[in-house]
Amino acid sequence: MTTASVFDIHLLVETISRNLSPHDIRYCTLVCHTWYTRFSPFLWRNIRVFQKLACDRLHYPEAQTALVRYAHNVRSVHSFWPRAEATLAAHAINNLTVLKISSTGSVPAFVDLFSHSHSLRMLDMTCLLQDKALVERFISVLRSHPQLQELRMRLFNTPRQTTRRILLCCGNLDKILIKVSMGVEGPVPTNGSILAEMVELAGSESPSFKVRDLEINSGIKLGDPLFLLLELCPNVERFAAPSSYYWSQILTDAVSEVVTELALRVRSTMKWLRHLDMGVSDMHGQYAADIIVACSDLITYVGLHDQREPQIAISALQSMHRDTLTVVDLCASGLVWTASGILQSFLCACPNILSFTAMGPLDPRKTPPYKGYIVPEEQRQQEVTERSSGSMWMCKGLKNLKLTFKSRCWNGGPRELQESEHEQGSVHDLDSQVEYVPESLIEQLGSLAMLQELWLGRATSLLEGAEYTFWDLTEDQVETSQKQASRLLATLATLPWIRRLEFQGLREVMDDGEIEDAKQFWRHVVEVK
């Protein structure tokens, strides 16, 4: 009679290992001989060589022996060291699916590893490609690769002709992310030479690429090879627009020409574009609006986190795509008063939004909104009008809301300012009305019956007025603020599908007991912060 072990089920062991860190897998190999045999292959699934010590360890005799044994188990490689790439290229790593290289330079071992990896799905490379022989060899492998679907490429000091030739080999890819920094100009190509390259590398004078996800994470200018790429991608569904690194260095007229040409490419070529990401740029709101208008039936939009005149881009979204938008991320957009004004008008006009973000930047890698932004007078007036109207949001199906709002201290400002004015004979009342949580916001939230996640933050810095915090309030204002927070919690307690709540700058006026009472009404709540 034979006994069966759980380790006889290979897929089960693989599933368990997928959820374990390399550190945990090493501990598993120390349990017994059986565990060592079963778990050791998974130590080689993901190879990371970031430091010189890791590179040296890879060349230890015992590591080389294990690599020979488990080469077929390697699925991803991320390396910063050419020596490691050369070693890996010498082994039969036939099942590699993800390759990230950040140290290629002119080392041919990178191309060797790329050419041997017939199952590769994603190539992520940061390199300096100047050796013509290496470039042509790389192009040859890229053109004929049978499985590659995604290319992430960052090129430095690379001739524009090289960039263009590489891009012309990407016709079978599903996703392209490209960043070109400090490209070498070289001679201006003629139309005839470009057509000849198209025939040579893409097989046609008018090729049509399969790319559905295109991201250009660098500056762009007229005559750039990246403009040529835009003409060849009619199937793009998601487009991440170029950054303004270059635009910030040139005159306004040149910027206008670039944006006009970019909008033309979007309008004439990308008929299936439904997802627009402008999160890496800080172009003026008018230029963003030109690109928004060029799109048709946007479903998702990611805005600019450092934008001048953001209301122009938001108005273009509202007028052109109000009926199709479901996910909108404005990432603050320099707007610190986002519970009212133009954004309230936007939410009142878009009935199908499911996820809305105007709190940012949530991503710590991004810089705060433009600090020099001045709120135009017409926007101030619109803010007051919209706040007083009390109109209800149309997006009743909203599930995720991340919103920063601005508190108000009516008939006065911070306590210090009021006291100063009072000493000078001002008519301002020291106990002026405070709106720590806007009443209109509390009312609007009560209509969102499907809401699941709510991130609510109070802006602590008012760029167009005096700044005040909780500690600037009088006792009566504190009491008023606490009552407003209680009404907010009471309103949220009526929303049955809440799963996660996060408050920023509000907990000082919230009673912990009331929060616990509200939790009793939320059957699905996971976290309250």
Mean pLDDT of 328-357: 73
Dihedral over Cα of 124, 128, 133, 136: its sign: positive
Neighbour count for residue 31 (Cβ, 10 Å): 11
Report cis status (omega within 30 of 0) of the bond before 242: no
Mean pLDDT of 175-193: 75
Coil vs helix vs strand at 264: helix
Q: What's the confidence (pLDDT) of residue 462? A: 42
Mean pLDDT of 306-319: 80
Classify residue 327: in a domain, yes or no: no
Q: What's the confidence (pLDDT) of residue 415? A: 42
List the one residue out of 64, 62, 114 whose CA is nearest residue 85: 114
Does pLDDT of 443 surpass 60? Answer: yes
Give whole-number Cα distances, 528 to 206, 273, 499, 500, 519, in Å. 55, 37, 9, 6, 9
What does the DSSP 8-state code read for residue 147? S
Classify residue 490: in a domain, yes or no: yes
List the one residue out of 244, 228, 101 whose CA is nearest residue 170: 228
Does pLDDT of 390 surpass 80? Answer: no
Mean pLDDT of 136-150: 90
Residue 72 phi/psi, 5-degree rounding, is -75, -10
Q: What's the confidence (pLDDT) of residue 234? A: 92
pLDDT band at 206 (very low <50, low <70, confident <90, very high): confident
Say how many domains are in the chain. 2
Query: Which stretch of DSSP H or E encloses residue 28?
Result: helix 22-29
Q: Is 361 left (phi over 0), alpha (psi -120 to 50) or beta?
A: beta
Q: What's the confidence (pLDDT) of residue 6? A: 55
Classify residue 6: in a domain, yes or no: yes
Q: What's the confidence (pLDDT) of residue 10? A: 58
Does pLDDT of 113 surpass 50? Answer: yes
pLDDT, tens only, 19-65: 777 777 777 778 787 777 777 788 888 888 888 888 888 888 888 88
Mean pLDDT of 276-284: 76
When comparing pLDDT for 294 and 431, which is higher?
Answer: 294
pTM of the model: 0.79
pLDDT band at 298 (very low <50, low <70, confident <90, very high): very high
Classify residue 23: in a domain, yes or no: yes
Does pLDDT of 195 surpass 70? Answer: yes
Does pLDDT of 1 surpass 80? Answer: no
Dihedral over Cα of 363, 452, 310, 457: its sign: negative
**Mean per-residue pLDDT over the chain, rounded:** 76
Best-predicted range by mean pLDDT among 66-80, 101-115, 322-336? 66-80
Classify residue 12: in a domain, yes or no: yes
List the one residue out of 232, 235, 180 whose CA is nearest residue 213: 235
pLDDT band at 481 (very low <50, low <70, confident <90, very high): confident
Classify residue 462: in a domain, yes or no: yes
Residue listed under structure tokens 């009526």: 494
Q: What's the confidence (pLDDT) of residue 182? A: 61
Classify residue 228: in a domain, yes or no: no
Does pLDDT of 411 surpass 70? Answer: no
pLDDT band at 379 (very low <50, low <70, confident <90, very high): low
Does pLDDT of 287 surpass 60? Answer: yes
What is the β-pairing status of strands 400-406 and 150-156? unpaired
- Return all residues near 355 (Cβ < 8 A) that are at least 6 apart: 326, 327, 328, 329, 398, 399, 400, 401
pLDDT, tens only, 78-95: 888 888 888 888 887 888
pLDDT band at 212 (very low <50, low <70, confident <90, very high): very high
Give whole-number Cα distances, 163 to 222, 231, 270, 352, 473, in Å. 15, 15, 22, 41, 59
Mean pLDDT of 229-254: 73
Q: What's the confidence (pLDDT) of residue 439? A: 77
- Over pLDDT 90: what percentage of the chain? 11
Classify residue 14: in a domain, yes or no: yes
Q: What's the confidence (pLDDT) of residue 150? A: 94
C-alpha 507/C-alpha 512 separation (Å) is 9
Q: Is 191 left (phi over 0), alpha (psi -120 to 50) or beta?
A: alpha
Residue 516 phi/psi, 5-degree rounding, is -65, -35
Mean pLDDT of 204-219: 87
When comparing pLDDT for 407 and 317, which is higher?
Answer: 317
When comparing pLDDT for 306 and 197, which is higher?
Answer: 197
What is the β-pairing status of strands 434-435 and 408-409? antiparallel
- Return all residues near 140 (Cβ < 8 A) that are at least 6 apart: none
Does pLDDT of 497 surpass 60? Answer: yes
DSSP state letters, 447-463? T-TT--EEEEEEE---T
Q: What's the confidence (pLDDT) of residue 123? A: 92
- Over pLDDT 70: what percentage of the chain? 74
Domain of 8, in residue numbers:
1-44
For 129, counting Cβ atoms within 10 Å of its Cβ (0-12 exposed, 13-18 middle, 19+ buried), the class is buried
Does pLDDT of 318 surpass 80? Answer: yes
Lowest-pLDDT choice from 105-109, 124-128, 269-273, 382-386? 382-386
When comparing pLDDT for 203 and 15, which is higher?
Answer: 203
Lowest-pLDDT choice from 3-17, 297-311, 482-496? 3-17
